[in-house]
Structure 1
Amino acid sequence: MRRRSHRSQPAGRRSRTVVATTAAVLVGAVGMSGCDAVGGNEPGPSNASQRGEQKRQKPAWDRSPQSLAAVGDSITRAFDACSVLSDCPEASWATGSDADVRSLAVRLLGPAKAAERSWNYAKTGARMVDLPEQMHQAAAHRPELVTVLAGANDACRSSVRSMTPVADFRADFAQALRGLRRQSPTSQVFVASVPDLKRLWSTGRSNPMGKQVWKLGICPSMLKDSDAVDAKAVARRAAVQQRVVEYNRVLKEVCAKDLRCRYDDGAVFSYRFGDEQLSEWDWFHPSKDGQSELAEIAYRAVTAR
């Protein structure tokens, strides 16, 4: 993935003054706050043979949808992309209007139409259990495309034991897609994988200022005691990493059962966020540059043949 060097910030921007400002307002903050039904409304089959044929035939994917709704968590709200402890939806990878980000909606629809035909129902702090209600709100618009990026908060808990069980994660995601199918049968769905939280730890821990911010409570299951490399800390991080892998497997499997759903094949999980792509406020959420990279990943997936 190419980098946008023209938006790079000098290392000095992350000063102790920024950390002091962040610390004053970040206390108590938590981290990232990441298709069982067949899609479509084609005419009903006249016999069992036709029903079987319909199930085998996948409808053509529309590579240029004309409306878009987004669901998910703080990443899709562009939390901490513009200022400390604040959503910045105009910088959202999915529906934002920021010219530097060039959101998926802008790339697909153009700026003017994106402002009229895109909706963002993601919520900072949301987990997969919140997705059915978000999907219900999104489906009311009958969007031609719905984007999903959720799951980081299910892993970013106070402890490994508190992470969302995989079975619950699966049930909630499947319920969300069934609800969409009832309300808007022909809406296409793009599902982004959960980011690699261990990679974010590995990147951010090289910044002394960032590690101080993490101590205030960002994604403690992965980031607490960020310098610890004892067996217990290593095992804890490995457990969180494995749970994220399991969540992504669920996203892939459930999406594969829906004829109008595309999974990103782990593209977001595999993307190597660097210093430029992380928020200057918490060194964990995507910056505007990171949001732009997410938009590019999504655009490539949605428009692929």
Structure 2
Amino acid sequence: MQNRFARHRSRTAAAVLAAVSLLGAAALTGCDADGNRTTKGAAAEPREPSARPGPVWDRSPGSVAAVGDSITRGFDACSVLADCPEASWATGTDREVRSLAVRLLGESGTAARSWNHAETGARIAQLPQQMALAAKEKPDLVTVMIGANDACRDSVRLMTPAADFRASFEASMRQLRAGAPKAQVYVSSVPDLKRLWSTGRGNALGKQIWKLGICQSMLGDADDMGVPAVARRASVQERVVAYNEALRDVCAKDRRCRYDGGAVFDYAFTGKQLSQWDWFHPGRNGQARLAEIAYRNVTSARPPA
């Protein structure tokens, strides 16, 4: 019995000693502020800083390429029925406009590091080709403003279906990514065509110009407030909203794409901002407002809500 008791006591003592040793070792170790194990009484081993990726969105891009339609070409901003790319909100050099490129790059930088591939009359179906041209420039930023011509047709029946619009924009983004995988993309919403109709119809000369064939789906018979005309304009408005939803959704799937949050659609253009030649396209003042919106959104720390 005594021998068994002695052996049991010996084993117990050994276990206690082992536990004490473990506690002592634990007391000598701890964690530094970053959660790394250290030893008390000794200097912590130096550690390489963690590699943390920088922000995806660069708020100071060094070059700009523009794609889109007549608005980005500055159509009717300087003279009747003519492009005026120097007055473009995106890449123009007009000092009254102070384009996005001028605000980002300065005047000399705009001349050397910006490109305008937009085309008057372009619809979303032409955007993939424009994106391919933009990709060849290897720009830091690509601006997109497209969709007004898809809704501005001779009749509601001819408007681009929303599903086709979405598919074409997806194809456009794929085309850009094939040639410029790291380019940032700023996407403007389609302007509120119904508000432009409401604003412009107050000008008698503008309404006469509209009769020449400008955006008949919205602007045709501008003073007609009958049920069919009201329904026609409502259909155009709904389609523009659907286009903007497509732009927003497709852009959201690309980590280097930033949609304007509907800022251009929400902007209330006045007669002061519209072209004196057609009372529909932005004049120089309107182009300047578009440049302001774009610059604010491109340089913001966070994307628009």
TM interval, short-chain normalised: 0.7 to 0.9
2:291 alignment partner in structure 1: 295
TM-score (norm 2): 0.81
**Secondary structure at the residue paired with 2:158?**
coil
1:208 alignment partner in structure 2: 204
Q: Which residue of 70, 92, 100 maps to 1:96?
A: 92
Answering whether residue 229 of structure 2 is matched by residue 233 of structure 1, we say yes
Whole-Å Cα distance in 2 between the matches of residues 114 and 78 of structure 1?
16
> Which amino acid in 1 is paired with 2:147?
G
Q: Which residue of 138, 141, 145 maps to 1:142?
A: 138
1:152 alignment partner in structure 2: 148
Q: Which residue of 161, 166, 176 maps to 1:170?
A: 166
Q: Which residue of 62, 67, 90 maps to 2:63?
A: 67
Deviation at 1:123, TM superposition (A): 0.1
> Which amino acid in 1 is paired with 2:158?
S
Contact 2:186 2:257 in 1 (8 A): yes
Measured at CA, do residues 267 and 168 of structure 1 come closer, stay the same or move farther in structure 2, by a change above 3 Å? same
**Secondary structure at the residue paired with 1:300?**
helix
Whole-Å Cα distance in 2 between the matches of residues 300 and 206 of structure 1?
31
**Secondary structure at the residue paired with 2:254?**
coil
Q: Which residue of 92, 102, 112 maps to 1:106?
A: 102
**Secondary structure at the residue paired with 1:238?**
helix
Q: Which residue of 263, 268, 276 maps to 1:267?
A: 263
Contact 1:58 1:259 in 2 (8 A): no
Answering whether residue 189 of structure 2 is matched by residue 193 of structure 1, we say yes
Deviation at 1:209, TM superposition (A): 1.1
Residues 20-53 of structure 1: CA deviation (Å, up to 9, x unaligned)? xxxxxxxxxxxxxxxxxxxxxxxxxxxxxxxxxx
Contact 1:80 1:287 in 2 (8 A): yes
Measured at CA, do residues 184 and 276 of structure 1 come closer, stay the same or move farther in structure 2, by a change above 3 Å? same
Residues 198-254 of structure 1: CA deviation (Å, up to 9, x unaligned)? 000000111111111111110000000000000000000000000000000000000
Residues 90-142 of structure 1: CA deviation (Å, up to 9, x unaligned)? 00000000000000000000000110000000000000000000000000011
Question: Percent identity over the alignment?
Answer: 68
Contact 1:126 1:153 in 2 (8 A): yes
Deviation at 1:58, TM superposition (A): 9.4
Deviation at 1:59, TM superposition (A): 4.7
Whole-Å Cα distance in 2 between the matches of residues 171 and 87 of structure 1?
28
Provide runs of 4+ in structure 1 moved above 3 Å: none
Gaps of 5+ in 2: 1-52
Whole-Å Cα distance in 2 between the matches of residues 258 and 59 of structure 1?
14
> Which amino acid in 1 is paired with 2:161?
P
Gaps of 5+ in 1: 1-56
Q: Which has the higher contact order (CA 8 A, sep 6+)?
A: 1
CA RMSD, aligned part only? 0.9
1:252 alignment partner in structure 2: 248
Contact 2:56 2:255 in 1 (8 A): no
1:122 alignment partner in structure 2: 118
